[in-house]
Amino acid sequence: MEKKTLLAIVLSCLVILVWQYLFTPPPRKPVQGQGEKAGEQVPVLPKAEKIVQQPPVEGIPQSTPVAKTEAIKSSREIVVTTSLYTAVFTTDGARLKSFKLHNYRNQIEEPAFVLFFKRLLAGGENQGQKRISPPDVFQEIIPSGTDEILPLKVEFQGEQGQLLTPLTYETNTEALNLAKSNPQGELIFSATAPSGLKVLKRFTFAWEQYPVGFDVSILNPTKENISGQASVEWAHPFDPITQGGGSSFFSTPPNLYSFVYSVNENVVKNVLKNIKADKVFSGTIKWVGFEDRYFIASLIPGDGKGSELKLSRPRETEISAKMVYPQVTVPSQGGEYLHYRLYLGPKDLSLLEAQKVGLEKTMNFGWFDIVAKPLLVSLKFCYRYIHNYGIAIIILTILIKILFWPLTHTSFKSMKDMQKIQPEINKLREQYKDKKEELNKKILELYRTHKVNPLGGCLPLVLQIPVFFALYRVLLDSIELRHANFISFWINDLSAKDPTYISPLLMGASMFIQQKMTPTTGDPAQAKMMLFMPVIFTFMFLNFPSGLVLYWLINNVLSIGQQMYINKRVS
């Protein structure tokens, strides 16, 4: 029995090490603000009508062919502010330059406890300095690249070449500030290409919504029909240094971006560093986007037109995802219209589901997804009432322990019974030491007589492995746990390791006590080996999320109490 238990624990450790090395998801970009309430529905933005049917927009020059020799005007930035984000557009191509989320920040304060120990280790230096809070650096959805690598570029390619050369657009406003009294607004870009085609790009914003309406009108005010292929490109910068790294057990894995898309109801993710050759995807494209662990920037077609998705790497530092539409002929005085919706925001399950295009499928917790999502829902339910994810983890641990109580009780009792019959097993081993088959038969008969299951002690550990890995992924990948506070002066980010290492040490101590209380059935050498396991687990847990360490610590404490109860009842 002892050898099997030891083997089970060693295999569990090996699984944890292999999982951490191969499947550790990228670290998070910092910090959770309060954001939307769980389950909040995001209303659908009103769909813009065809622009060609609307009267001229004040402030935007009407279609006038631009001479090819005319110098391109210098670009300007147009800032749009809502309660949730600040978006910056550039008139150079009417592209999106920045999109910062107000409820999510890149930095948090170090806990007072950590600062105290840092000063203590520094020999008391800087004792008189005031604690300085980090600046409010809002979470940026559009990674910084160059002005050439920006999303939402519109092209119209004809047989003779590009019919929409790089354009500088005019706008209907120099800034757009929404408020409760002014909850919706539009930003319209207008430009005329040397070919005579006029382009209107209309963005529709709402005060308390992440989705942004996006409509493109390619108008032909000339006397000739013009043929070509329209496309909308989402360009994303790629840094081979920061995005080309891997993960290891002893270091925090890098924050890798992925290109993600939904084609024919299948969601596929490609880490940017793995995109090297051009690819073309055909079928029903519900959305395309780029994501990191916590946030996603997605382009959602809304017109039902068939298109191809072309993924390419135009240069070493750029990844391009381009939606290309079939060849069309824009008649004289007519137009081609494309309708989209943008979702740039947190990967909050309720918000993604509200988009009704399957964006929630981007939240996949791996092999144990079926266990992880109920755990996340349970944590959010507890948080709704107690407003502390650390306490929510403790409550969840207690509920899991209650759920497993009968099984664990049977297991502990089985181990206690095994301990009682161990002297008889030792006698049989001595008596039949040269007759292995006979020895096994006699031991099985002994088990049946005393109604003992030799594998009963391993079962609870095996059943906890899916819960352990599922909670590990929830803590790493859920926006709700990102920078979630437990005890402000000690642990203020349950998704990161404990900076003081106090919780892993407490966990190791509780595991040692539990091991000492667990009935042993083997020889003294094996018992000592089992007592060494808490040291191994403590070492592994040093870099684990503090929320996961908290779960294991509370689980150990409850197991100690349960073992004390069983030891009194079964004696």
Is residue 210 classed exposed, middle or buried when 0-12, 13-18 and 19+ CB atoms within 10 A define those classes?
A: buried
Q: What is the 3-state secondary structure (H, E, C) of 309-339?
A: EEEEEEECCEEEEEEECCCEEECCCEEEEEE
The answer to whether 192 and 274 are in contact (CB under 8 A) is: no
Angstrom distances, CA of residue 394 to CA of 40, 486, 542, 551, 554? 26, 11, 19, 6, 7
Q: So what's the pLDDT on residue 27?
A: 41
pLDDT tens across 383-426, in order? 999 999 999 999 999 998 888 777 776 676 667 667 677 777 77
- What sign for the dihedral angle of Cα 35, 37, 41, 43? negative
If pLDDT is split at 50, 70 and 90, which confidence band does 124 have? low
Quick one: which of 264, 269, 234, 268 has its CA closest to 342? 234
- pLDDT by residue (tens digit) across 443-473? 777 777 776 666 655 666 677 788 878 888 8
Does the structure show a pLDDT above 60 at 138? yes
Phi and psi for 3 in degrees, rounded to 5?
A: -65, -40
- Letter for the amino acid at 382? C
**Best mean pLDDT range from 31-35, 198-202, 435-439:** 198-202
φ, ψ for residue 342 (rounded to 5)? Answer: -110, 135
How would you class 239 by CB atoms within 10 Å of its CB: exposed for 0-12, middle for 13-18, buried for 19 or more?
middle
pLDDT at res. 352: 92
**Residue 493 banded pLDDT, cuts 50, 70, 90:** confident
CA–CA distance, 287 with 280 (Å, rounded to integer): 15
156 vs 407, which has greater pLDDT?
A: 156
Q: Is the pLDDT of residue 191 over 60?
A: yes
Q: What is the average pLDDT score of the chain? A: 77
- For the chain, helix, strand, coil in percent to 5 are 35, 25, 40
Phi, psi angle pair for 307, to nearest 5°: -155, 165
Which DSSP state fits 229? E
Domain boundaries defined on the chain: 2-30+372-569, 77-105+143-247+254-347
- Has residue 210 got a pLDDT over 70? yes
Q: What is the CATH architecture assignment of 77-105+143-247+254-347? A: Distorted Sandwich (2.70)
* pLDDT tens, position by position, 52-88: 333 444 444 443 443 333 434 588 999 999 999 999 9
The pLDDT, as a whole number, for residue 509 is 92
pLDDT for position 123: 62
How far, in Å, CA of 491 to CA of 495, rounded? Answer: 10
Q: Give the model's confidence band at 312: pLDDT under 50 very low, under 70 low, under 90 confident, else very high.
A: confident
Position 188: which residue type? I
The answer to whether residue 3 scores a pLDDT higher than 60 is no
pLDDT computed for residue 527 by the predictor:
60
pTM, to two decimals = 0.75
